[in-house]
Amino acid sequence: MKKRLLGKSGLEVSALGLGCMGMSFSYGPAHDKKEMISLIRTAVEWGVTFFDTAEVYGPYINEELVGEALAPLRDRVVIATKFGFKIDPSGQRQWIGLDSRPEHIRAVAEASLKRLRTDTIDLFYQHRVDPAVPIEDVAGTVKDLIKEGKVKHFGLSEAGVDAISRAHVVQPVTALQSEYSLWWRDVETAILPKLEELGIGFVPFSPLGRGFLTGKIDDKTTFDKSDFRNTVPRFTPENRQANQVVVDLLTSIGQRKNATPAQIALAWLLAQKPWIVPIPGTTKLERLDENLGAVSLELSPAELAEIESAINKITIQGSRYPDSVSKLVNR
């Protein structure tokens, strides 16, 4: 497995990480725990060293899963988790708002350390910027946790340029995690240039468009009633049909390269910057194997230009989040 450095931080991880959220949360019912532990450990054997989770995934059960799976392999992996949501104590919903008050960050860190069965969190992201708490206070709190040895690196998720810049002054930001793929490229305008300027790594989540870019979803696909995609405008049957043109593009190039649409989508991301580390999620070994195959797939300058030219002529239909969630990004 090839390795990459997340910006100038010195944090080295596998060129592809593994997003663990879908094992417990968001894409239907939680999967069998023993099977997911086996999959995570197989990922380590296949060279993956970077695993992503969060307290809100479940809530809590995804961190517990990742912690149990990786405890025997702890010295071989980098674990990232997140703080910043106020968890619903009634259990009716996963979260009921944002909370990045310093005392809450500290409480989340202590609880996450226990669930992850570790003495230190390798990368601790603010899950979403909290407008009620100055970003300097957030960065300062994580800086203190780093001094105490409870956290190694500070990250932000879905933050805007202003928040990134201000936080970075207080405590260097190792990585930004935000959505990025061939059907969501907004970060290219201002975010990626700022990250390059400051030497911050970038971790794209949903690099396969929540499964759509794999070519395994079409307008006739139905999702479990608990699947988050039922609420996403981009996943209405009409929009899936309209957006099929992106998958057709990936399929066409993949046929020439003896690769799948997912592999082309991931290879394209990896080709954008050497400090980009996508974290595709999966619950299936065959998909993990497929995704990891993208690391050794080289797209030529001509092929990258072909993709760029074609994608620029496509207008993606449907927003990526329902309105209630959209307001929480890029503050």
Write down the catalytic residue from 57, 60, 125, 180.
57
Reply yes or no on whether 57 is catalytic: yes
| CA–CA dist 62, 257 (Å, integer) | 36
- Amino acid identity at 305: A
Q: b vs e for 109-148, b when ≥16 Cβ sit within 10 Å of the residue's Cβ?
A: beebbebbbbebbbbbbbbbbbeebebebbbbbbbebbee
Which positions are annotated as active-site residues? Answer: 57
